[in-house]
Chain A
Amino acid sequence: MLMNIQPSQAGTVESNDILIILNPAETGSGIKIDLTSPVLKKYGSQIKIVIQEVLNGQGIVDAHVSANDRGALDCTIRARMMTAIDRAKLGEEVQG
């Protein structure tokens, strides 16, 4: 089942963390990821895959993710994504 989400964010711009800003997107527009990272050349594609995986795992197929990475490991990226998604869903319930 597809999920309606509210704008949300999680994480920080401290070293080894990542700031995720999650925004809803129109149905059918897919996942768009804007990534800035000091390790873009070496890990950019890997970071995007992780973000994509977490979104798909949570049934989100349309979203705009703005990710400001500061050298986070994959486990951190997953955790921040999960929190952002939880907050995005929470927003829906509160307003619901």
Chain B
Amino acid sequence: MINAIGREIPENIAGIKNIKPYSGPFAYTPAGRLTGPTIILNKPRSEKVLKSIEQAIDATGLKDGMTISFHHHFRNGDYVLNMVVAAIARKGIRDLTLAPSSLNNINEEIIPYIEQGVITAIETSGARGKLGKLLTNGKMKKTTIIRSHGGRARAIECGELHIDVAFLGAPACDTYGNMNGVEGKSACGSLGYAMVDAAYADKVVAITDHLVPYPLYPVSIPQTQVDYIVPVEAIGDPKGIASGALRISKDPRELLIAQYATTAIEYSGYFNQDYSIQLGSGGASLAAAQFLKEKMKQQGITASFGLGGVTAPFIEMLDEGLIKAIYDVQDFDIPSIQSMKKNANHQEMSASFYANPHNRGPIVNQLDVVILSATEVDVDFNVNVITDSNGVIMGAVGGHQDTAAGAALSIVVAPLLRGRLPMVIDQVHTVCTPGETVDIIVTERGVAVNPRRKDLRDNLREANIPLMDIEELRDIAYEFAGKPDPILVSDEVAAAVEYRDGTLIDVIRKPL
């Protein structure tokens, strides 16, 4: 079948029940009730602290064919996922579905366990490096499912993604299971993605390298959701978890893109007192934060809230009073982690609060402006953030779909060429975010406004930026690089890309 953006979605995809084609950002109306964990009795003075991960695996009753989950706040410093999968493999348990909130390069360590059949299915936001290649090359027994952060929260809450056991790395945890992410040697800041797993998994195991006496506070994930606690030597490598404050780019191309993006915001009609904003963590986004800060100061405008994916430039704006509050699902650097710990205006939120389209309202619905990055965009404004120029998975959907759909103004920034590769093309290899939710494409050569947003195009006429049609941007790119040959793919579907509402927006076929 052909979905609403013209992508061919097979009628049957191995391992995916009830295939629904994407039909528009808010076209699908959900029905039914939320799911939840089993009910249990926990008597006074029960002991939750166990000696080892192996003991926790036994206690949870983990069996062949079940689904396990993890959170990715430790980023490329994560030890938990690898450590737990290795322990599960030693137990001889097989045929598991791995459902982490995302995967990083460090998780390549689990590839042997995939090859041995310990893990036979993966549901995640994305993957990189060798894991991305493995998922693309159809090496998994079952089709990989790619979901946005909001989509994952939705899938967990409605039961489409049922988690049997969640293994949650806890930077600080007390002896009864209260945990937070701001204390301990492996502090990662927000535990936003893990909150959904904790609330909905049948069994929750906290794995910590900072076990403290009861009670721990502040509490990010409460004792009411945690079955067992395992103290270990280290849950992550602090150097991989958070970087120092990222420096603002000196790359003139990134600076020019950032300048055009902030000028577009300034003239968009949304740059008003108490507007709200989300910025990505890419170079151009960070530079945009700097320029935006100057414009806000010049014009005496402050923002009501900032959303993210939080980085140091955002914290500076919070500290300078330019942003009233920050809502935080994940932290990228040490200043952000410290800010969440000490500043009451820096609020932690769950992935569901952030972006789930099927709860009573995620915060993305309140968002005015978002700046997003892209691997490639096409003349229909569709954005790919997951497959590279060879059609191989090398990124993650993250909150891209969610913020693009929620924000009043979604801006996608990308260089027009990366090396020889044009970033504005006829048709992206994989659609992650549909063009009807993308308003402006900013490149160093020109700025294109989605024809659906005539209002925006009118507003931007006054701005001193090179406005052009998206086709002109493509033509400039092709003039430099030539028209790219299409990536040839087989019929074999390696991964299905869900839209945030659970419909299928595209599939990733194994390249030939």
Contact = CB atoms under 8 A, between A and B. Distances in A.
B420 A73 contact: yes
B485 A42 contact: yes
B485 A45 contact: yes
A16 B390 contact: no
Contact of B390 (A41, A71, A72): A41
Contacts, number: 42
A41 B389 contact: yes
Contacts of A41: 389-391, 485, 487-488, 511
A38 interface: yes
A39 B419 contact: yes
A76 B364 CA distance: 45
Interface string A34-53: 00001111111110000000
B481 to A, nearest CB: 6
Contacts of B481: 43, 73
A39 B389 contact: yes
Q: How large is the interface on B (under 10, 10 to 19, 20 to 34, 35 or more residues)?
A: 10 to 19
B390 A43 contact: no
B421 interface: yes
Contacts of A71: 418-421
Interface string B376-419: 00000000000001110000000000000000000000000011
B485 A43 contact: yes
A39 B421 contact: yes
A45 B420 CA distance: 14
Task: Kindly name the residue among A40, A45, A46 whose own CB sees the greatest number of chain B CB atoms within 10 A.
Answer: A46
24 contacts: A15-B419, A16-B419, A38-B389, A39-B389, A39-B420, A39-B421, A40-B390, A41-B389, A41-B391, A42-B389, A42-B484, A42-B485, A42-B487, A43-B481, A43-B482, A43-B484, A43-B485, A45-B485, A46-B485, A71-B418, A71-B420, A72-B420, A73-B420, A73-B480
Interface of B: 389-391, 418-421, 480-482, 484-485, 487-488, 511
Given A39-B421, A45-B485, A73-B420, 13 more contacts: A16-B419, A16-B420, A39-B419, A39-B484, A40-B390, A41-B511, A42-B484, A42-B485, A43-B481, A43-B484, A71-B418, A72-B420, A74-B482
Interface of A: 15-16, 38-46, 70-74
